[in-house]
Amino acid sequence: MPNSSAEGRAVSLTVNGVLRVVEIDERTSLLDLLRERLHLTGTKKGCDAGACGACTVLVDGARVNACLNLAIRLQDAEVTTVEGLTTGDGDLHPLQRAFIDRDAFQCGYCTPGQIMSGIGCIREGRAGSRAEIREWMSGNICRCGCYPRIVDAVRHVAAGEGA
């Protein structure tokens, strides 16, 4: 190996309820940290530029694009990814269930981001009508074109939770 790896710097953060302490390159995005270091590949890279939403995760409860978050800035942050939605005994989150029931995906690649974004959308109180969901879920591109069904799924869960 001609060169040693870049000098590392430690960051500790909670991912899906587990405290992780990782030596990282300061350039590492949260997305690449999740995918390449923590092997949580459920969070997807679609554009790496905040233009597609495939990498949507919750950071301290808010939906964000993991690709534009530098991991080094997330000391003590709480990150939830799609892998953190299922309980220990494998029960799906209601929105995961709704995505299956409504067939709200085809290829499935944008789906983890859609689901995380949908959870954020409901939490933000922006799932009151189909029109509102359409607008507030527009940060997640689905090239298979499953939008009407994504709206169905989010609407279903939002209504069920009295949001």
Partner 1 sequence: MSTQPEVAVGRPHERVDGRLKVTGRATYAADHAIDDVVFAVLVDSSIGRGRISSIDTAAAEEEPGVLGVLGHHNAPTLPYEDNADGSYNPPGRRLRVFQDDQVHFFGQPVAVVLAESLEAAQHAAHLVEVTYHVERPSTDLSTAIGAEPVTYVRGDAEAALDPAPVRLDLTYGLARNHHNPMEPHATIARWDRGRLTVWDKTQWVGDGTQRELATVFGLSTDDVHIVSPCIGGAFGSALRCWPHVAVAALAARETGRAVKLVMARRQLYFGVGYRPAYEYRLRLGAHRDGRLIGALHDIRAETSSYETFTEEVMVPGQMLYRTPAVHQVYRTVPLDVNTPTYMRGPGYVSAVHVLETALDELAHEIGIDPIELRARNEPVADPATGLPFSTRRLQECFTIGARVFGWADRDPEPGSTRDGDQLVGTGVAAAVYNTARTGARAAVRVRADGTAVIQTATTDMGPGTATALTQVAADELGLDMHDVTVHLGDSDLPQAPPHGASTTMASVGSAVHDGAHRVRRSAAELAVGDPCSPLHGADPTDVVATGGRLHLARDPRRNDSYQALLTRNGRAWLEATGLYTPPAEETRSMHAYGAIFVEVGVDHRLGLIRIRRMLGVYDAGRIINPRLAESQAIGGMVGGIGTALLEHTVTDHRDGRIVNPNLADYLVPVNADVPNLTAIFLDGRDDHADPIGVKGIGEVVQIGIAPAIANAVFHATGRRVRTLPITIEAMI
Partner 2 sequence: MQPFDYLKVGSQAAALEAARRGGRFIAGGTCLVDLMREEVERPATLIDISALQMREIVATGRGGLRIGALVTMAAAAADPHIRTSYPLISEALELSASAQLRNMATIGGNVLQRTRCTYFRDLSAACNKRAPGSGCAAREGYNRSHAILGTSAECVATHPSDLAVALAALDAVIHLVSGSGSRRVAITDFLIRPGSAPEREHALRDAELITAVEVPALPRPVRSGYLKVRDRQSYEFALASAAVALATRDGVIRAARVAAGGVGTVPWRLHAVEQRLVGGWPSAQLWRFAAECAADGAEPLRHNAFKVDLLRRTVERQLRIVGQP
- Site residues (CB under 8 A) for partner 1? 1-7, 25, 27-28, 32, 35-36, 39-49, 51-52, 54, 81-83, 85-86, 92, 96-97, 99-101, 103, 105-112, 115, 130, 133-135, 137-151
Site for partner 2 in 110-139 (CB under 8 A): 117, 120-121, 124, 126, 134-139
Structural contact between residues 37 and 101, judged by C-beta atoms closer than 8 angstroms:
no
How far lies 74's CA from each of 60, 66, 71, in Å?
10, 11, 5
Report CA Rg, the chain. Answer: 16
3-state secondary structure of 131: helix
Name 63's Cβ contacts closer than 8 Å, sequence gap at least 6.
56, 57, 116, 117, 119, 120, 121
118 touches which of partner 1, partner 2, none (CB within 5 to 8 A by kind)?
none
Q: How far is the CB of 119 from partner 2 (least distance, A)?
A: 12
Q: How far is the CB of 125 from partner 1 (least distance, A)?
A: 18
Q: Does 98 bind partner 2 (CB under 8 A)?
A: no
Q: How many CA atoms lie within 13 A of 15 on its CB side?
A: 23
Q: Binding partner 2 by CB under 8 A: which of 22, 42, 68, 128?
A: 68
Site for partner 2 in 10-39 (CB under 8 A): 25-27, 29
The count of residues in the chain is: 163
Number of residues that bind partner 2 (CB under 8 A): 35
In what side-by-side order are the strands of the sheet with 18-24?
A: 18-24, 9-15, 78-80, 56-59, 62-65
Q: Does 143 bind partner 2 (CB under 8 A)?
A: no
Nearer Cβ to partner 2 (16/117): 117
